[in-house]
Amino acid sequence: MNNGNLFDLSGKVALVTGASRGIGEGIAKLLAQHGAHVIVSSRKVEGCQAVVDDILKAGGSAQAIACHIGEMTQIEAIFSAISEQHGKLDILVNNAAANPYFGHILDTDLSAFEKTVDVNIRGYFFMSTLGAKLMKASNGGAIVNVASVNGVIPGDFQGIYSITKAAVISMTKAFAKECAQFNIRVNALLPGATDTKFASTLVNNPKILEQAMAHVPMKRVAKPEEMAGTVLYLASDASSYTTGTAINVDGGYLIG
């Protein structure tokens, strides 16, 4: 904490998954603006490098490392690289997610089920265990899991995705409870409808969008960068006594 600025991340090493675009890109850029060295990660390194270039142009510090969190070998490889290059990890933002199936829950096939579970549950779990072990070795850190309002109220035709996001909320609490003794805080962000490629099924369908906005008091879709401020709070000393919580950033959707 420098100069009494609770949001200062100078000297911190942060890993953001799914950071080549959308919400992850917004998070990576904001953490870098506040002084963190950001490891920008997603499945393809080219997209990550474009975000890194933007951060460097703006005077920040960042690097790109590819990682598909649905693959255990890649999860192990990225933490091995971080350990060798930096010797520590202060901030982990689990943002990469899979949502391959949009349709009735009864028609969910095994392939879509496995892909969604492998990334959204197994991926988040083992990213968190390996990340927390690195944090434990250097006296603590902060993990932020990007879940979804669909983890609270299942989204229409997004059954298995919603189930995995409910699991992420539960996982956040379980890790928070057991890792507090190591000075590791674990919290979740619950985005509402956000204008990203990931949410294009919703955002680009006028009929579905109109139905969705009927339940959002603010009557609009979020911009990806509107999610980043909450993650900055949860990753910084501003939230030093906050753990195990899930913060809705949803334009009021969950008010009901």
Q: Rounded to an integer, what distance in angstroms lies between the CA atom of residue 67 and that of residue 75?
A: 7
* DSSP conformation letters of 143-203: EEEE--GGGTSPPTTBHHHHHHHHHHHHHHHHHHHHHGGGTEEEEEEEE-SB-SSTTHHHH
Among the options 161, 233, 241, 253, which is catalytic? 161
Note if 124 is an active site residue.
Answer: no
Please tell me the number of Cα atoms within 13 Å of 51 on its side-chain side. 33
Q: Rounded to an integer, what distance in angstroms lies between the CA atom of residue 166 and that of residue 151?
A: 4
Residues noted as catalytic: 161
